[in-house]
Amino acid sequence: MTDSAAERRQLAATLARDGALTSPGMRAAVEAVPRELFLLPGVFLDEGRAWRPVTASGTDQDTWLGLAYSLDTLTTQLDGHLTADHADGPVAGVPTSSSTDPATVVGMIENLEAQPGNQVLEIGTGTGYSAALMCHILGEDNVTTVEVDPAVAGRADAALESAGYSTWTVTGDGLLGHPRRAPYDRVIATCAARRIPYAWVRQTRPGGVILCTIGSWAYGTGLAKVVVREDGTAEGEFAGRSSFMQARAQAVEPVAGDLSARTAYADSERACRTNPTALEEWMPAFLAQLAAPGAQYVRAVGGDGTPLRYLFDPERESFAEFVAGGDGGWVVRQGGPVALWDVVEESLVAWRDAGEPDITAVRVHITASTHTYQIADRPALRWRHVLG
């Protein structure tokens, strides 16, 4: 095995200097776990329009360790199947598994505030690196990790074994949790979910913590930290902005191509009070997902070069089409059972009136059938999502 002790110490020192790593236990874990083992057979580097495969076996040791101990997220799988050893050269594709950047990984684990002896359930094993760090801190018998992709799970299991951790790696849909090893004291998701599955609440002890990125857009998503209560509900706040790949079972098929058939019949048309391009900013995008869960934001250009923006909710067959006017204003055409822009714009206006609080001001309350989000005590900044 390559000796990467110096690189591990350097990574831990950098993360501590940057404030991402604060506890001695976490520092010892980063210094002990060789990240390079978890990246086999290789990674894809982002070259803008393509992904360049780099394998451990096809790269000299210094370059490989330089990559492994960079502060970057390293993509290890594209399109649900492709690994770097099966790509001949740069390829297009969508990342479907990765080793998340170390600052985010250690920050999330510290945020979990796991205590000695706690049982932790991780959703999204990926490479296994984050599971290995938790095994080092808590002991391998106290970590259960679930990965939906069998090939990814197999590689992670092998990497964990070779790093010396015989932990509980499970192949399956982590949105269902893993009842066989419940109850847990902590649940940590390293993929994003549209909502926290109630199965996780059921499988967590009262007083236990669940940490999960909520949202279905690539941005405008937040890290919810909730505590499970004796009465079977869970309550908490958003610890901050956070971005992760979508949980596969919930991944939203992007709306693309010719959109004219979807927007042919509008029920109303009016001037916008708020510029819809606000939805390209993080917090308005987060609010839009609270106000209109299931909606997607789409950017396009009309045949004559006019900028077009849309909100679509494919499940509720509703749309809002925004057309830029020459005067800098926008007109919205809305169709379908839900006037998407009416509800989103109302939330955006209320949020501006409240002084534009950030995501850390949002609280969430979870029951078996509802997620209720709330900012301060303002009725206009309360969103109740009912399941089913």
Binding to ligand SAM in span 249-288, by CB under 6 A: 249
The CA distance from 4 to 8, in Å, is: 6
| Nearer to ligand SAM (CB atom), residue 243 or residue 274 | 243
Rule CB under 6 A: say whether 175 interacts with ligand SAM.
yes
Considering beta carbons, is residue 239 or 324 the nearer one to ligand SAM?
239
Our finding on whether 105 is near ligand SAM (CB under 6 A) is yes
Residue 203 lies near ligand SAM (rule: CB under 6 A): no
Helix (H, G, I), strand (E, B) or coil at 335: strand
CB of 191 to ligand SAM, least distance (A): 4
Q: How many CA atoms lie within 13 A of 184 on its CB side?
A: 29
The nearer residue to ligand SAM, 212 or 228, going by C-beta atoms, is 212
Query: Residue 365: in which H helix or E strand, if any?
Result: strand 362-366
For ligand SAM, which is the closer residue by CB, 35 or 333? 35
* Selected binder of ligand SAM within 43, 146, 212, 359 (CB under 6 A): 146
Shortest distance, position 159 Cβ to ligand SAM, whole Å:
10
Position 99 contacts ligand SAM (CB under 6 A)? yes
Give CA–CA dist 385/43, Å, rounded.
Answer: 39
User: Taking CB under 6 A as the rule, which mask of x and - marks residues 215-254 in contact with ligand SAM?
Assistant: -----------------------------xx-xxx-----
Cβ 200 to ligand SAM, closest distance in Å?
11
Instruction: For the CB of residue 188, give the shortest distance to ligand SAM in the complex, in Å.
Output: 9
Total residues at interface with ligand SAM (CB under 6 A): 27
Q: How far apart are CA 161 and CA 321, in angstroms?
A: 52
Strand, helix or coil for residue 330: strand
How would DSSP label each residue in 209-232? EEEEEE-SSSSS-EEEEEEE-TTS
Which residue number has the CB closest to ligand SAM?
Answer: 126
Q: Is 169 in the site for ligand SAM (CB under 6 A)?
A: no
Report which of 103, 129, 137 is spatially closest to residue 43, judged by C-alpha positions: 129
The token pair at 197 is 């599955």
Which stretch, 2-10, 122-130, 234-242, 339-347, contacts ligand SAM (CB under 6 A)? 122-130
Q: Which of 190, 334, 347, 374 binds ligand SAM (CB under 6 A)?
A: 190
- Contact between 100 and ligand SAM by CB under 6 A: the answer reads yes
Known catalytic membership, residue 98: yes
Measuring CA to CA, which residue among 246, 256, 255, 173 is closest to residue 216? 246
The 8 Å CB, 24+ separation contacts for 60-64 are 61/2, 64/2, 64/36
Nearest residue to 23 (alpha-carbon basis) of 110, 86, 149: 110
Is 72 among the residues that bind ligand SAM (CB under 6 A)? no
126 binds ligand SAM (CB under 6 A): yes
Residue with tokens 């690196």: 129
Closest C-alpha among 51, 97, 41 to residue 73: 97
d(CA 265, CA 280): 26
Torsion of CA 139, 140, 141, 146, to 10 degrees: 130
Q: Point out which span in 97-105, 221-229, 309-317, 350-358 binds ligand SAM (CB under 6 A).
A: 97-105
For residue 199, what are its two tokens? 């199965």
Work out whether 5 is an interface residue with ligand SAM (CB under 6 A): no
Residue 184 dihedral angles phi and psi, to the nearest 5°: -110, 155
Chosen residue from 12, 152, 279, 375 binding ligand SAM by CB under 6 A? 152
Gap between the Cα atoms of 68 and 37, Å rounded: 9
Judged by CB under 6 A, which of 130, 204, 243, 334 binds ligand SAM? 130
Options 4, 23, 97, 98, the catalytic residue:
98
Binding footprint of ligand SAM on the chain (CB under 6 A): 96-100, 105, 123-124, 126-127, 129-130, 146-149, 152, 173-175, 190-191, 244-245, 247-249
Q: Could you list the active site residues? A: 98
